[in-house]
């Protein structure tokens, strides 16, 4: 029996991949993104223990909804790839039932450790936090080199990807950096779409509850005009953007 650490489950998600989705929020993450809205998923030893059989048996109750909508199961977090054995075992079970699988990831992974998992994953929601390595370190605490390498690897093996990029005013909205990101994305052959996500403050209360300082409390969400300007850079490169 393969066990994992789970933070929570959303049974009818609609934003983490196509269709209606069963979304598992995994526990544990090595990044410390300044805007993270799930700081309660950071520590691997928190959360509740569950087996892949438990999750799989629960998923089966929702198969009619997923099939009818073109949905499936998404693993998010936290960072799912930290629990690669659990994720791989669960996805093997799901693919045996022809259920669509997706992983929401920062891409901060060692490729050789996730090759088996990749085989059973239909879609990656790859969150590129910042295209500049130094700025990425300031924002997340780690380099972006693994993320960009993983993006290229997924392109080389032609695995479908949705790129996600959060727009934080004054941090990730510089147009020169956006152009570099758009150029990088356009160099990949497997990108199905790019999601430009406006920064929000919906997770701030969690920091207060956990006693964690929130460094972006003075920053407000971006203007819609700025979001459209950023999207246009991707459209110029014939990239589908939402």
Three-state DSSP at 18 gives coil
Please tell me the predicted confidence (pLDDT) of residue 31: 97
Which domains are present in the chain? 3-235 (3.20.20.70)
Give the Å distances, CA to CA, from 44 to 2, 39, 49, 74.
Answer: 16, 11, 11, 19
**pTM of the prediction?**
0.95
Query: In the sheet where 191-198 sits, what is the strand order?
Result: 48-51, 3-13, 21-26, 72-76, 100-105, 123-127, 161-167, 191-198
For residue 9, the cross-strand partners are: 24
pLDDT of residue 104: 98
- Which residues does 209 contact at the CB level (< 8 Å), separation at least 6? none
- What is the predicted pLDDT for the residue at 125? 98
Write down the pLDDT at residue 40.
94
Residues 6+ apart with CB under 8 A from 144: 128, 129, 130, 131, 132, 133, 136, 137
For the chain, 242 residues long, give each residue's pLDDT as a single digit of tens: 999 999 999 998 999 999 999 999 999 999 999 999 999 999 999 999 999 999 999 999 999 989 899 999 999 999 999 999 999 999 999 999 999 999 999 999 999 999 999 999 999 999 999 999 999 999 999 999 999 999 999 999 999 999 999 999 999 999 999 999 999 999 999 999 999 999 998 888 899 999 999 999 899 999 999 999 999 999 999 999 99
- What pLDDT is recorded for position 203? 84
Number of H helices, E strands in the chain: 9, 8
Mean pLDDT taken over the chain: 96
Closest CA to 117 of 156, 63, 58, 159: 159
According to the model, what pLDDT value does residue 12 have? 87
């Amino acid at each position: 029996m393969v066990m994992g650490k789970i933070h929570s489950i959303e049974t009818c998600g609609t934003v983490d991949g196509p269709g209606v989705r069963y979304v598992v929020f995994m526990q544990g993450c090595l990044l410390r993104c300044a805007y993270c809205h799930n700081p309660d998923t950071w520590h691997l030893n928190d959360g509740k223990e569950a087996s892949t059989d438990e999750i799989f048996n629960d998923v089966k109750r929702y198969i009619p909804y997923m099939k009818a909508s073109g949905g499936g199961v998404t693993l998010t977090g936290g960072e799912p790839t930290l629990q690669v054995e659990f994720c791989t075992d669960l996805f093997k079970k799901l693919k045996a039932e022809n259920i669509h699988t997706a992983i929401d990831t920062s891409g901060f992974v060692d490729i050789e450790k996730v090759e088996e998992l990749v085989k059973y994953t239909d879609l990656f929601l790859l969150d590129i936090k910042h295209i500049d390595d130094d700025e990425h370190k300031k924002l997340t605490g780690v380099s972006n080199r693994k993320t960009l390498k993983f993006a290229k690897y997924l392109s080389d093996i032609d695995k479908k990807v949705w790129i996600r990029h959060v727009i934080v005013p004054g941090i990730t909205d510089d147009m020169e950096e956006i152009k570099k990101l758009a150029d990088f994305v356009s160099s990949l052959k497997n990108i199905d779409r790019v999601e430009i996500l406006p920064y929000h403050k919906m997770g701030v209360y969690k920091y207060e509850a956990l006693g964690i300082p929130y460094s972006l409390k003075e920053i407000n969400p971006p203007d819609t005009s700025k979001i459209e300007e950023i999207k246009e850079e991707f459209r110029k490169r014939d990239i589908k953007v939402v």
